[in-house]
Amino acid sequence: MSAQVISGKEVSAQVRERLKKEVEAMKAHDPNFRPGLVVLQVGDRDDSNLYISMKLKAAAEIGIHATHLRLPKTATEEEVLHSIREVNENSCIHGLIVQLPMDSINKIDTEKVTNAVAPEKDVDGLTSINAGKLSRGDLGDCFLPCTPNGCMELIRNTGVSVAGKRAVVVGRSKIVGAPMHDLLLWNHATVTTCHSKTADLAAEIGKADILVTGIGKPQIVKGEWIKEGAVVIDCGINHIPDSTRPSGKRVVGDVDYDSAKQRASHITPVPGGVGPMTVAMLMQNTVLSARRFLDTHKPGQWNISYTALNLQKPVPSDIVISRSCVPKPIDKLAGEIGVLWDEMELYGKTKAKVQLETMDRLRAQPDGKYVVVAGITPTPLGEGKSTTTIGLVQALGAHLKLNVFACVRQPSQGPTFGIKGGAAGGGYSQVIPMEEFNLHLTGDIHAITAANNLVAAAIEARMFHEATQTDKALYNRLVPLNAGQRTFSPIQVNRLKKLGIEKTDPTTLTEEEITRFARLDIDPDTITWQRVMDTNDRFLRKITVGESATEKGHTRSCQFDITVASEIMAVLALTSSMEDMRQRLAKMVVASSRSGDPVTTEDLGVSGALTVLMRDAIKPNLMQTLEGTPVFVHAGPFANIAHGNSSILADKIALKLVGPEGFVVTEAGFGADIGMEKFFNIKCRYSGLRPHVVVLVATVRALKMHGGGPTVTAGMPLPKEYLEENLELLEKGCSNMRKQVENARAFGVPVVVAVNAFKTDTDAELDMICKLAKEAGAFDAVRCTHWAEGGAGAMALGEAVRKASEAPSNFKFLYDTELPIVDKIRIIAQKIYGADDIELLPEAQQKVERYTRQGFGNLPICMAKTHLSLSHDPEKKGVPKGFILPIRDIRASVGAGFLYPLVGSMPTMPGLPTRPCFYDIDLDPVTGEVKGLF
């Protein structure tokens, strides 16, 4: 009889076709996904190059993105290991092959290099971990070495069952013989391994129903040794002399093919047998690795652990509570919510930045539900929006078991050391660690400070140099000689284009063009850009710069703002990508020229440098709540002169991570008439996101204040009216809540009122608020005790929000941005504040004309007014009527993308009180713990 030839070419072609369809199915499910393979080679051996080209060709045919990473012969062991580590950490790569042998002039430990490959990417199946799992029989949790796996595929193709058969493996190499033994054993064969010390090789081979050879000796196995009807798989590749071949040699296996073919039932030829299968199995392992990656990283499929609270009564201080809870390592939390290792940048153990590539990876993933937390017009003490935001996400996550993210602003250090204290929430609803949250975090605010002040320095320097130099001298210094030539920088080319000068050779500009290019001619009276610092300092509200003799009398009065008031902070909060941030930073208008043209940071030549300073700040910061739910802390623009909301990028990444059934809860600063209105009309306009629910936070004390209660002063005890039941005062004050519910519903979004309960509130008072809120049109109204009870105290709120998110929603903007500036201001004043009309003072009227002329008239409006009243007068509580809203000035944040009318005086640099918070703040030199922060 003559054996049936097992064609590795045919079987491997079938495998490749199947893998091609699998890859196509993956891409159909996620068009952005593609299996990735890296082949790492050291040196330039011809035989290695041939093998690699075969692998790359096979990968391309199947649809695998394969990369050939070649290191020179001079590569050291550490350089090879470094390359492997980089590939291990790249989530786009699912398979890594180290091509052996490594051809280096330096000594390299092959075993060490092989085992440096991450086991989950070891598609060669050669690491000790994968080998160990194979030897233990964990075949579904490892990668099978390619050649033995190919042999098994060929055996299966014969139709011969392995189970119960006697198998003999000749050879015990780590690549073929040893893993082949294990594979046959765990497929239920009785296996014998033969090697150079085997006493009677022929007798052992004669017992084999299945024979696999991989000893590397040409034709050592004779046909007469083979049992009749055996399956013979020959892995040997040997060269023997053959004068009939042009090369003078030919390739043969370990088995004498012609004689063995007469006794075996099935046999593999050499070449054309096992060889093609090795490459096919390598591709199969790569596709398997990619599939495992997809299965374990399904968007929205969280495997999150929550932290149990140990509730204490009375409730301890915020910092005591914060320290009583041990936060999860932040990389663990990131993994639980689907952030990949190479998408995070760790800043210690409790905070990390998340890269924007996460959003790109998940762009095909549907968004989750979007919730904004706003509030009624507050007292100076605040009504607990941040605490409610955190309590709500703890309820939705730890108690209702939904994927949920909180997105909050980063607090300024000014209030932290001033009078307000920290802003991490409070009680058992906090972001932790609170000292990390309230202090430097990852340095974003410091980056904004540096960028902002670089612009200020550039303005002063440019005015000084223009005032002290001729046009020619100024031009020669702006475009200096370098190696005998003058060259425009890219940012200078942009300025030339803006001026309509289509030239790139500095020597070809006319005198008139040189003057236009070199002179910005800034009018000092129009400068709107101020220096900033993140500290409350009242004595910087007005300063004089240029007092040194070196500035030659070029003095100017200006001021410092607090950093969170910088337009760069607003840009960070409203940007959608690195490129978008670069463009916004370039468009920031810092002044006007004497001819009335806007002067931008691009004109100053500084916008590129600003982007460099902000390149890390653009990435959202990941932290966690007391109960272990994730929080993005990113951006912190003022809620008066800016829009008072955390970043669009944080919201967008979070909405992708939670998945379509999850929730993202963000907070809008101050009352709903300010933060919520700007959230809808500015943030949602630029983000394109549509909210599902508004949560409106109300308190008994604030509503009593609106009903005519005594003045509430920060740092002073509350009057007795706020500590005793007074339903008449409360009912009268609920008019403010009714108006804010109306404001929210004007945007077509369901409203849930969260009554933040204090221990002095009575059931009758809380019930009254809920009743009146529903009568005002709220979808639901519930009392909350999350400050004292954590997420458990906000479960009713969580259920209400979940139900409201399923209710019909008809979101709409309040105004069309194409309307004239004055009309947009009037719509906000009348519909949101309840004003009869607006009055533009002369300076504001001039700005309307200027900004319309300069082309900024179609920007959204960001009203800068007091947060303590619906009107411009902080003393008018409840729902003021019959007032005219005075607009004293209008300013432009062109880069951020809005105009902000000033309603009354708007301080942008807070001052310190008589007894600031810093009196209580200290560091324990032994434990390193911060004391006195609240």
Q: Is 825 strand, coil or helix?
A: helix
CA-wise closest residue to 383 among 680, 701, 748: 701
Distance CA 838, CA 843 (A): 14
122 Cβ neighbours under 8 A, 6+ residues apart? 96, 129, 130, 143
274-296 vs 46-62: helix axis angle to the nearest 10?
50
Residue whose structure tokens are 């199946």 = 125
β-partners of residue 884 are 837
750 Cβ neighbours under 8 A, 6+ residues apart? 692, 693, 694, 779, 804, 805, 807, 809
Position 368: which residue type?
G
β-partners of residue 893 are 898
Q: Is 55 part of the annotated catalytic residue set?
A: yes
Distance CA 350, CA 815 (A): 42
Cβ pair 363, 32 in contact under 8 A: yes
Strand order in the sheet with 266-267: 4-5, 266-267, 231-234, 210-213, 166-170, 190-194
CA 829 to chain centroid: 37
Distance CA 878, CA 702 (A): 10
Q: What are phi and psi of 434, to 5 degrees?
A: -65, -30
Half-sphere exposure in the Cβ direction for 425 (13 Å, CA): 33
Catalytic site residue from 55, 351, 353, 385: 55
Residue whose structure tokens are 């990444």 = 653
CA 406 to chain centroid: 13
296 Cβ neighbours under 8 A, 6+ residues apart? none
Cβ pair 255, 221 in contact under 8 A: yes
Answer whether the bond into residue 271 is a cis peptide, omega within 30°. Answer: yes
Cβ pair 338, 658 in contact under 8 A: no
Catalytic residues: 55
